[in-house]
Structure formats: C-alpha cells, structure tokens
Structure 1
C-alpha cells in the first residue's frame, strides 16, 4: 500500500512538478467547471469532482499534465449532487471516495473515461446546518481513519470530525470532533473548504472567502490539527495558532491534493464560480 502511494506521488513530483510554483492552469470556464475535490491517480493524473446539481452536468473529470488537459468522465450508477470532496482509497489504486455536501457519499472506481459507483454510504449524524466540504483517508497505526469537515460560515466555526472506517462496508466507528476557526480570510469566510492528511497525521486545511458568484475570492492554506490513534481510539488535536502556509488571492480553493508523502508540495484546485476552475502546483 505504502509503495503504491509512494509510486504515484513520485510520478507527480519527478515528472510533473516544476522546481518552483506555477501559475494557475484553467480546467474550464463558467459555474459548472469548478474543482470541488481532487485526488491523485496511480498514473499521476488528477481526478477531480465538481459540485454540479443539474441532470446532465459533469460530475467528474480527469486532468492530465503537463498542460492540464481535461477529460470529462461518464458517471455510471447513482448520481450524487453537490460533490464537495474526493479521497483516494489507501491500498486500492483506482478507487476513491466522493462526498456530497449533505453527508451522502459513494465509493467509486476509475476505468478509462468513466467512474463507476461501487457502493453508497451516509456519514454518521452530525449537527444541524453541517455543510461538508472536506474528506480525507489515512492509515494510522495499521487502522484506516476517515476525517471530514463541516465548512462553517463566518461566526459559525468549522468542524473537523474523525472516525475509524471499514472501507469494505463504508461504515464508521465512534466519532470525535474539533471546532476550527481560520485566521484568514476575515469576511464571508468558510473556515474549512478542504482538507488533506500527511503520512504523519497532520491535517492541512484551506479556508476561503466567498461573497458570491462574481467574487472577489481569496483563500489560505494552514495547519489545522493532527489526527491519531491514541489509547486505542481516534483522536483529534489542534495545532496551536494554526500556522498559515500560504495565501492565494483571487481564487476560492476547494481542493487540496498532496504531491509528496510529507505533503510539503500540493496541487490546489479552485471553484471560482462564474470564472470557472483552475489548478496550481504549489
């Protein structure tokens, strides 16, 4: 499993990742072309999902580098609306978990130019008003842990939730949670717009300002918390001060994909509403 992940990340890092951060690369224009979640494939491509809601609108696409060539994918099986996050399944190349904002999700597989729904699931009951914009999977101490995030909004803090997950049945154990408030931006803020987990269990999060379809948008990437197995249970621990990694003006980041095992390099995806979607190596 670790070798598979390392090989995929090596493909992206050594053959795609430039020695310095690049400009944003467009993956489509208009409100149906944003990136709301992303995951790396074993071949070094980027699988993205889109938060479209109407019948016939694209739900998933494959981005090939260099040049960010976009191939829309057919969706086979039950169609979910408002997909907001995507995570690769550890140890299962070609399989992913996609999550919608309202807590329903699907385990999917990627074959050629289509994704197929293998099974559906519902997250454990949360809090009224939850709007999920992040989902990540990690293997810690030999156990598979899922972490997901309610984005929060302005005065309402975001929330990280974690639990052990049975990937075969997509069922979850007891949950633990932690509230999170982003330091930046300060207006029209979504405290968590996506998350990623490093191999050591550190949770990176993005935050974003979203005043409406025309923007202006701004985002930040920061170190939010750690997830671990402590005393036999899944635990979340805040990182003091939530150190900021970077700010990205003019874009609403909704997808973080680790490009190295330590996640010190990333592929970021945006849903800039009327302005479409973009990706960036950072």
Structure 2
C-alpha cells in the first residue's frame, strides 16, 4: 500500500540478463488516451490477454488521477507499447479503485478479469473488482464489486492486510477458487500467506472460511537484509501445469535499492479444501537485482526463449516490463 503521491517517473537503464531495449527517459503523459513506450505508473499486477499482449494494473490512490489499467502490446522487433484503459464508471460507494495490487483472468470467460485492492484503509476499500475488457477500444466495464476478507485494517497506527497476489482456478465441479496472496513483511503479518475462498462470479459473492482464511504460510528463499521485512509475495502466477510461481521483493524505501526473486512454493491440488501443496524448501528460480517485481505472467510468444514475463514498480525510478529467459 502506498502512502504518498509520487512525482513523475523516470525509467532507469539496468543491466539484466533480460531482453528488449530500455525505454527512453521521459515524464508521465497526463492524457488518458496517450499511448507510450513506457508505463504511466508502476506495474502492480498483470494478466495475459494473448500471446503478445497483457493487461496490467497500477496502484494509484483514490485521490490520484491517472489510469488504473493499461494494455501492453509487444512485437518481436519493437519496444512494448502501453495503452491506458478507460473505465466509464465505478459502481460502488467507495468510488474508483485505489491501490490496485493484483490481477488475474476469470477461467473460461474470455475478456473477463478480477483485480484486487491491497486492503482496507480506515475501513474503506479492500475490494475485488470483476470487469470485462474490450481490448480493441481500450475500455473496461465493471461488472461487479466484492469485499476481500479483512483480517487487519490499514490505518495510521498499523500496516494491515496487504494483498499483492491473485489467481483464479476452476475446479472439476465447475466452482471457482480464488487464491489471495498476503505479501508479508509487516509486524501484523511477518510472513507471506496464500489464502483461498470460493467465488460465485454470477452472484458476485466471495466466501473465505476455515482453513482457507487461515491459509498456508510461505517464506521466500534468498539472502535478505532483513528477513522480517522482506515481502514474500509481491505477485502470483499459476502455470497451465498447476505450478505456483511467486515473486518476492525487498523494499528499502522509494529510492531503493530493490531486490527481487522468482520462486515456486508448491503447486495446486484438485482438492478445494486444501488446494495448495507446499514445498518445504522452495528454491530460487531467478534473482533480479535492482528491481521491485510486482507482476508475473506467462511467456511472450514473439520472443524466443521467453519463459515468463515480469513487471516492476520501482517507485521513484518508474517501472519496466520484460520477458525473462
């Protein structure tokens, strides 16, 4: 959850074992319909539209203007292009989305997605939005709004729920299971937690009870400066084979330095009562220095060797999107 307004972002050239040329340094474009070769804000969640385009969310707060979503399109011979997505109305008393941190597609419903705010702030917000995207017109319609489980409110006295991972899977009985990743790294929640609940997408009802609300704790592998402060879950992606992928990040303030890892804490089972089969000793798949990864998704079709894609929210340094080998 962000607590301040950030100045216009600059993109920093970084040396990584990744592809694509760096975006040029420039300021944010204020117009909502402007396309650009750099994100208008940090990338805090991502879902694949097709092999070479992605929907991403941005964590603008309720009092900040700017897009809440963008579409990234990619071709093999040019830099990715960002297209802001417009939303005509937000049918909820708390108004437009604030601090969006996670995004996932709705299984078997093309063009429909779920996006989640990080948590409540003084009792407001903490919502899960169901939307339909028109990728051609770059417009989205909000179909329904649900409340996420509230274990601890965010307020000036404490850091509460911080949901930064989201996945949705359909069981063999047709029900939808929603996986929710608490990032960890706070006094209230020192460890990451994967929670789960049953989603009725037509009635827009979400139920977290029992073991699902308690969840499964995860600890990101790696050498962290402060193991009690690192964020064990900064995004979540489930592969077609059912493997759970998480990013974890260390945030040392708006000027960093940042460090991130990508790892797998386990896989999905067919049992909705206990859907997460955890590995006792997860290992790092990739270490990404100098970036704060907050978005994971599947590979880019047009980039040979791509195995996954990442997006970052590097605070005062802006954000990048990259395929990862």
Please indicate the TM-score interval, normalised by the length of the shorter structure. 0.7 to 0.9
Give the match for residue 59 of structure 1: 68
1:182 is the counterpart of 2:199: no
In structure 2, the CA distance between the partners of 1:119 and 1:26, relative to structure 1 (3 Å rule), is farther
Give the match for residue 295 of structure 2: 255
1:74 is the counterpart of 2:86: yes
Q: Decide whether the 8 Å contact of 1:29 with 1:275 is kept in 2.
A: no
Superposition map of 1:66-145 within 5 A: 66=75, 67-78=79-90, 79-102=96-119, 103-111=126-134, 112-127=137-152, 129-141=160-172, 142-145=174-177
Deviations 1:100-126 (A, max 9, x none): 001312111112122221111112343
3-state SS in 1 of match to 2:269: strand
Find the partner of 2:308 among 255, 266, 272: 266
Q: Decide whether the 8 Å contact of 1:32 with 1:52 is kept in 2.
A: no
Task: Tell me which moved more, 63-72 or 118-127.
Answer: 118-127
3-state SS in 2 of match to 1:269: strand
Instruction: Select the structure of larger CA radius of gyration.
Output: 2
Deviation of residue 76 (structure 1)?
Answer: 2.3
Once residues 276 and 37 of structure 1 are traced to their aligned partners in structure 2, the CA distance between those partners, rounded to angstroms, is 15
Deviation of residue 151 (structure 1)?
Answer: 0.5
Q: Decide whether the 8 Å contact of 1:140 with 1:201 is kept in 2.
A: no
Query: Which structure 1 segments of 5+ residues have no match?
Result: 1-19
Task: Tell me which moved more, 43-52 or 238-247.
Answer: 43-52
Give the match for residue 37 of structure 1: 45
Deviations 1:49-74 (A, max 9, x none): 10011342221111111221111121
Give the match for residue 12 of structure 1: none
TM-score, normalised by the number of residues in structure 1: 0.83
In structure 2, the CA distance between the partners of 1:43 and 1:180, relative to structure 1 (3 Å rule), is closer
Give the match for residue 192 of structure 2: 158
Deviation of residue 143 (structure 1)?
Answer: 3.5
Give the match for residue 148 of structure 1: 180
Deviations 1:21-74 (A, max 9, x none): 414754986796110001111473111110011342221111111221111121
Deviations 1:111-153 (A, max 9, x none): 2122221111112343562211111112233432210111000
Once residues 174 and 97 of structure 1 are traced to their aligned partners in structure 2, the CA distance between those partners, rounded to angstroms, is 16
1:203 is the counterpart of 2:228: no
Deviation of residue 94 (structure 1)?
Answer: 1.2
Task: Tell me which moved more, 72-81 or 92-101.
Answer: 72-81
Superposition map of 1:17-28 within 5 A: 21-23=18-20, 25-26=22-23
Task: Tell me which moved more, 202-211 or 171-180.
Answer: 171-180
Higher RCO structure (Cα 8 Å, ≥6 apart): 1
Give the match for residue 275 of structure 1: 317
Query: Which structure 2 segments of 5+ residues have no match?
Result: 1-16, 29-38, 91-95, 120-125, 154-159, 301-305
Give the match for residue 170 of structure 1: 204
Aligned residues: 260
